[in-house]
Every structure is written in structure tokens, then in C-alpha cells.
Amino acid sequence: MLNNTRHGKLAAVAVMAATALAITSCGSSEPATPAANAGGSSAAAEPVTITVHTFGGGENFGYDKAVETWNAAHPNIQVKYQNLTDRFEDVYLPQLLQRLQAGSGAADIIAVDEGAMGLMKARPQFFTDLAEYGLESRKADFPAAKWDNGINADNKLFALGTDIGGMTMCYRTDLFQKAGLPTERDEVSKLWPDWNAFMEIGKKFQAANPGKSDPKFLDGPNTLYNVILSQEAPKNGNVSYFDKSNQLILETNPAIKTSFDLVKSFSEAGLTAKLASFTPPWNAAIKKGAFATMGCPAWMLGVVSGAAGEENKGKWDVASVPGGAGNWGGSYLAVPKQSKHPKEAAEVLNYLTGKEGQIAAFQEAAAFPSSLPAQQDPAVSELKNAFFNDAPTGQIFGASVKDLLPTFLGEKHAQVKTSVEKVLEGMDQGSIPYDQAWTKFVEAGVKAAG
């Protein structure tokens, strides 16, 4: 799960706080102990409440049903689940870092986006070693890269994976029909084998929608940039802003420049609605159909359906993304050391990241499981998403993540990402001239990296 909007003072707080702190999270598929099964009896001697904090827009982590199931079966370990904000990098992350540093205020289980895992791995003092509660037995449940990312600098297991991103393109069938374009998902996928073809379709769409108040082809620069970067990074050593020695390579990595240039070309062509992702105007635009397409990792489907509302059910669908597969996002769960109930928190974490917990999250919020047993279950592989015109999302995202390679995300990845994407927003909205944008993009990244 990921949400990326960077505005105001909190973004600056995130950049400063990230140099002092760390965050983590955890996910899995098959519960390792009887206590982790939803139907098991509580292991707590006295009734306890375990708090769980997440982030994300729309349906966010999709834990409502999973928590309800757990609570019904475990009267002595009750879970209190709260999604704090839809903005990870400039709201959730700085607040979490402050609570970890203070030694109080963090939930018993906290979620963290993959972009901040480097930051959290470097600060093991804040997190419980999950191996102390038997969760090292979960290794076979996860792809190797997802498991390895939950190991910190002290070689301790501090987090388990929840979802994995994958990649598709969401589109509004009604807007495509009005523009004279195909609407059936297989035909739409054929329209854009690559980003050049996607650009041409965008121009056709915009020609059919020339008015100032007419819908735009794309939402804005953030989602497009992250989709393209998720494809380009694996072509360039599986790195983005930092190399595997944590040295900043923003200015020299072809993956970054290619992604920037493509976003710039779409913006210059007038194909974007100039919206910053995960802001109230962006959410409102999803609801009223102010744009026709946006890049959609699996978790984004829950964001779209939550923002669009039931009145738009069936108007959205899912097609292949131009240029092949990609992976944007995916999160983890972890137990801070400050938890007063680490054993019980580990049990709940084990359940939420296990097969049943991840299946429930996919059914509720389209968060595609990182758990291999969950991926292989018919409840996932055969699932269709009613909101997205009964798209076979289990099949689509299962194929999308099949051959994914992990991209290294450095310790300060989140800070750099926040800063450079603000430049993209400024470029798209006109406050930064196109001919100055790359220079300012690099300057912002260098400053954020310290």
C-alpha cells in the first residue's frame, strides 16, 4: 500500500524526522501458531487490547472484516484497528517517527510502506524481534525479497509483508465510450503496448474532450511517474534513487531521467488534470470523473473504489499497463518495542499477515497478497472485482507479480521521493517552468538526501 502526496510543513518534518528514526511493518500468509488462527482461543491470561495503526486512502489496508473475525474468536485479545490518514510520507511517517523516538504513542502493531523500510531497518532499537515469538517459521510463506526486506541491520526479523503492488492501468469505460475509444478491457490493453502508444491514445481522447471543463486523460504526474519508474528501475540494476551502497544516484540513474522525461512529455501535451495524488481535489476528481486513466497497482483499486463511491460502480475497469509489468508499493507490519503486549501483538500480526488475513484484505480492499499460500488460494486467484466491472483481478494481478524483481530502496528513499515529486507537481501545475524542472528535481533530491 502506498500513498504519495507531499505538501506543507509535514513534508519538511518527514525529511528531518527521517534522519532520526525508523519505521517498519510486517506481512505473511500461513499462520505459524494455533494462536494466530482466527478460530483459536486467546493465549492472553488477562484481557488485552491490541491497537493497529495503518495508512491509506479508500479501503486502505482492508482489515475491517479480518479484525471482526479475530475479535469474535479471541475475547481476551481484542484488536482496535484505526487507519490514521491517506497520506503516508508527509503525515503518517513523521508522526510515527516522533512516537518511536519518544518511546510512547505508537500502536502495538504499525504499518509501513516499502519506501520507508530502509529507514526502519537501519534503526532496530525501535522494534520487537518477531523471531522471539516464533514468526521466523513464516519464511517459506513469502517471496524471498519480501521476506528479506523485513530483516533489520541487527539481522533480526522485525516486519512481515502484507501486500504487493503489481501494476495495471485503471480507466473509465464511460469516458472512453464518449471519446469513441474501445471499452472492453482486452481491446483497451491492445491500444497501448508501450508509452508512445499510450501518448497517442491520450491525444485522441483529449481531441474528443477539448473544453476547459472536459475530463483529462490522466490524473497528474505522481501516479504516472511511479508507474514508469517501477518499470525502468529493474532495467537499470534494480535501483532508483540510491545504489545498493546507499549512495545517491538520482542524477545518473537512467531510470529516473527516463521516468521524468516521460512525465514531462505528458504534461507538456496537456494530458493531465494537474492533480497531486492523495489530496482532497484528487479524491473529488475520482468521484466526478475528471480524468479517464491512472496507473493502478493492486492496492490502488481500493483507493479508487473508496473515493469514487458506489454511484460509480461499474464505470471503472482494469487494463494492462503500457510497457509491461511493474511493482509499486506493498507494505509491512511490525511491533514496536514500546508495546506493552508484544506476545499478543505478534499473534495478531501473524494472523493479519497470514493466509486468511491477506485473503480477507484482498477481498475487502484489493490489496494483492504477498503471501504465497494466499496467492494460490482460489479465493484470490479466482476473485472478480464487482466495482471494476467484474474484472478478474485475482488473475490479472497474479500474472502481474509473477516475475517481479525487487528494487533496492535506500534508507532515505521516502525523503527523496517526497521532495522530487513536489517538483513534478510544480512543473505540471505551472509554478516551475519545464526547462528548469530537471535541475530543480535534482536539487530537491540532493537536498533531501542530506
**Whole-angstrom Cα distance, residue 286 to residue 291?**
7
pLDDT at 30 over 90: no
pLDDT at 18 over 90: no
Q: What is the pLDDT of residue 192?
A: 98
Please report, as a single letter, which amino acid is at residue 275. L
Q: What is the pLDDT of residue 375?
A: 96
pLDDT at 24 over 70: no
Q: Indicate the pLDDT class of residue 20, thresholds 50, 70 and 90.
A: very low
pLDDT at 339 over 90: yes
Q: What are the extents of the domains in the chain?
A: 8-165+329-376, 168-328+406-449
Q: What is the pLDDT of residue 5?
A: 36
CA atoms within 13 A on the CB side of 142: 31
Tell me the average pLDDT of the chain: 90
pLDDT tens, position by position, 164-202: 998 999 999 999 999 999 999 999 999 999 999 999 999
Q: Which residue has the cell 528513499?
A: 413
pLDDT tens, position by position, 33-87: 434 444 344 455 689 999 999 999 888 899 999 999 999 999 999 999 999 998 8
Q: What is the pLDDT of residue 7?
A: 33
Q: What is the pLDDT of residue 446?
A: 98
Q: Indicate the pLDDT class of residue 22, thresholds 50, 70 and 90.
A: very low
C-beta of residue 106 within 8 angstroms of C-beta of residue 96: yes
Smallest Cα–Cα separation from 62: which of 394, 356, 323?
356
Start-end of H helices in 269-354:
280-288, 300-308, 342-352
The whole-number average pLDDT for the span 129-146 is: 96
C-beta of residue 182 within 8 angstroms of C-beta of residue 176: yes
The whole-number average pLDDT for the span 246-275 is: 98
Task: Evaluate whether 8-165+329-376 and 168-328+406-449 have a shared fold.
Answer: yes
What is the CATH T-level fold of the domain 8-165+329-376, as seen in this structure?
D-Maltodextrin-Binding Protein; domain 2 (3.40.190)
Q: What is the pLDDT of residue 57?
A: 86
Q: What is the pLDDT of residue 406?
A: 81
The whole-number average pLDDT for the span 210-237 is: 96
Q: How far, in Å, are 89, 159, 405 from residue 112 at the CA level?
A: 10, 9, 20
Q: Which residue has the cell 510497457?
A: 323
C-beta of residue 422 within 8 angstroms of C-beta of residue 120: no
pLDDT at 421 over 80: yes
C-beta of residue 323 within 8 angstroms of C-beta of residue 227: no
DSSP per-residue string spanning 201-259: HHHHHHHT--STTSPEEE--HHHHHHHHHHHHGGGGTTBSSB-TTS-B-TTT-HHHHHH
C-beta of residue 243 within 8 angstroms of C-beta of residue 282: no
Q: What is the pLDDT of residue 135?
A: 98
pLDDT tens, position by position, 370-405: 999 999 999 999 999 999 999 999 999 998 887 777
Q: What is the pLDDT of residue 58?
A: 83
List of residues 6+ apart from 445 with CB closer than 8 A: 241, 248, 250, 251, 416, 419, 420
Q: Which residue has the cell 518511546?
A: 103
What is the CATH T-level fold of the domain 168-328+406-449, as seen in this structure?
D-Maltodextrin-Binding Protein; domain 2 (3.40.190)
Q: What is the pLDDT of residue 44?
A: 52
Q: What is the pLDDT of residue 45?
A: 66
